[in-house]
Structure 1
Amino acid sequence: MEQWRGHNAIVTGAGSGIGMATTVELLKHGVNVIGLDIQADKLEELAGSLGCTSSTSVGSNDSRRGKFHPKVCNITDERAVEEAFGWVDSVLGGVSVLINNAGIIMRTSLLDGTLKDWNFFMNINVLAQCVCSREAYRSMTKNNINGHIVQINSICGHSITPYFAHKMYNASKTAVTVLCEGLRHELSLVNSKIKVTSVSPGSVDTDIFKTANFKPSSQVISSRPALRPEDVAAAIITTLETPPHVQIAELTIIPNGSTIQSHGTPAPVNI
């Protein structure tokens, strides 16, 4: 991680779960983190736990730790994203690492779901990620940085889960899988050295289901083991530690005792 020490990383959804764990880990390695989240209270809580109030050094006397810059940002607002990246360009000298972590899961059936819910799903899980990746590319190119974009995907982007009202989540994460390869292809066509990695975790014990319209215990989690956010953060660090000539295109991590593909037969769900 020495190659990134003193550089700037943007982490979306930094206020909780995988985003928070990744932020903490990057700061430990001397990377400055611009944490984007729509929930101001979550960012304030994180900043407080790090011993800072705004853009101050994490840890009072540890100069090797990175600096945390919390920024309230709705990543589905293109202008807000552009302003956040523009601030990093003008004040901090550009973005070297982007962790596209923000995402949602919710129960919405293809039989009786609403366009509003489907748009919300795709705007956050797919389109916002594309906008952030575009802005990262622009910043890295402008500042001559051979950076690294890490997209937080899911095993649901590589297999179809059998759970009712879960297919739009499958679709959004499958789109991430396709767009990661598409982004690598376009970068190669312009001779860019920017890396793109898809990190696809299995079940992770986070608060993501609080935004869902169903309880994971009754339909998804059951007795299956789960990863911790820190496990995914460690995997992200692994991808960032690769030398310039090596790119981890896809990293799939699952808890021991589980599988990528669901092999159970879920009970029918009445609508």
Structure 2
Amino acid sequence: MNRWVGTVAVVTGFSSGIGQAIAEALVKNGIIVAGLARRIEIVEKQSDNLRQEKGKLYGFKCDVTKSDQIINSFKAITETLGPISILVNNAGINLEADLIDGDIDKWRQIMDTNVMALNVCTREAISSMKAHDIKGHIIHINSISGHMLFEVSGFSLYSATKHAVTTLTEVLRREIISAKLPIKLTSISPGVVKTNFFLNSFGEDGDKVFEGRPYLSSQDIAENVMYVLSTPEHVDIKELTVVTQGYLY
């Protein structure tokens, strides 16, 4: 991780859970982290908690469903903190909405957050990396639901967006290779992680997902992000699937 000390990383979906754990781990490894979140006060509070660490955390208020806000945020990050070396596309949501009679606005919000925001953030990060000749690393926080289908009501569009992330990752990899860019690209696909994700998706019933089954923690995913970042320059981990030991998925 030493080669990343003092460089700039952008983490989306920072406000809680996996994104917060990743940002904290990056700061502890001496990296300057720009956390994108709609609730900027959460980033500022976490920044205070990490004041004694090797790196530093800065908050940038951004609704990633708004492309203009993403573009402006990346511009501000580059101008104030420096060129971007690492991007962690962590922002992702699920809203309970099936396909037969689903809410169109919910569909659009899921697509905009899970797919469009990832594309726009990636484009802006690569633009910064290219402009400053940086050997960067882009990490998509995907999901095992991007590789298989779950017969669970309310997950129809979420799974479709994560399948899109799986495909987009490989398409982007081919574009990076074709353009001869020194940028690594990794998809990390966790199984069930104990965060507020399911509560936000299904309300009070969300925690029932964890009843009687093992689950991962946000720190588990953060440790895997640190692992892929710590690999030698010639090693590029394309896909890392992370599940609880001894459980099917």
Fold agreement, TM-score > 0.5: yes
1:175-194 superposed Cα distances (whole Å, 9 cap, x missing partner): 00000001101111111111
Matched, 1:104 2:100: no
In structure 2, what is the Cα distance between the partners aligned to 1:222 and 1:174?
26
In structure 2, what is the Cα distance between the partners aligned to 1:157 and 1:222?
23
Please report how far the alpha carbon of residue 104 of structure 1 lies from its aligned counterpart in structure 2 after TM superposition. Answer: 0.6
In structure 1, what is the Cα distance between the partners aligned to 2:28 and 2:130?
26
Please report how far the alpha carbon of residue 75 of structure 1 lies from its aligned counterpart in structure 2 after TM superposition. Answer: 1.0
Paired residue for 1:25? 25
Q: What is the number of equivalent residue pairs in this alignment?
A: 248
Unaligned runs of 5+ in 2: none
Q: Percent identity of the aligned residues?
A: 39
Please report how far the alpha carbon of residue 92 of structure 1 lies from its aligned counterpart in structure 2 after TM superposition. Answer: 2.2
Q: Alignment partner of 2:226: what SS?
A: helix
Unaligned runs of 5+ in 1: 51-57, 261-271
Superposition CA RMSD, Å: 1.3
1:121 to 89, 110, 115: 110
Bigger helix share: 2
Please report how far the alpha carbon of residue 45 of structure 1 lies from its aligned counterpart in structure 2 after TM superposition. Answer: 2.7
User: How do 1:177-196 and structure 2 match up within 5 A?
Assistant: 177-196=166-185
Please report how far the alpha carbon of residue 221 of structure 1 lies from its aligned counterpart in structure 2 after TM superposition. Answer: 3.5
Paired residue for 1:156? 145
Q: Alignment partner of 1:212: what SS?
A: helix
Paired residue for 2:195? 206
In structure 2, what is the Cα distance between the partners aligned to 1:221 and 1:67?
34
Q: Which amino acid aligns with 1:191?
A: K
Q: Alignment partner of 2:202: what SS?
A: coil
Matched, 1:46 2:35: no
Please report how far the alpha carbon of residue 106 of structure 1 lies from its aligned counterpart in structure 2 after TM superposition. Answer: 2.0
Q: Which amino acid aligns with 1:16?
A: S
Q: Alignment partner of 1:213: what SS?
A: helix
Please report how far the alpha carbon of residue 49 of structure 1 lies from its aligned counterpart in structure 2 after TM superposition. Answer: 2.3
Q: Which runs of 4+ in 1 moved over 3 A?
A: none
Paired residue for 2:14? 14
1:21-73 superposed Cα distances (whole Å, 9 cap, x missing partner): 111111111111001111123223322322xxxxxxx21xx6xx111111111
- Residues 106, 209 of structure 1: 8 Å contact kept: no
In structure 2, what is the Cα distance between the partners aligned to 1:211 and 1:223?
20
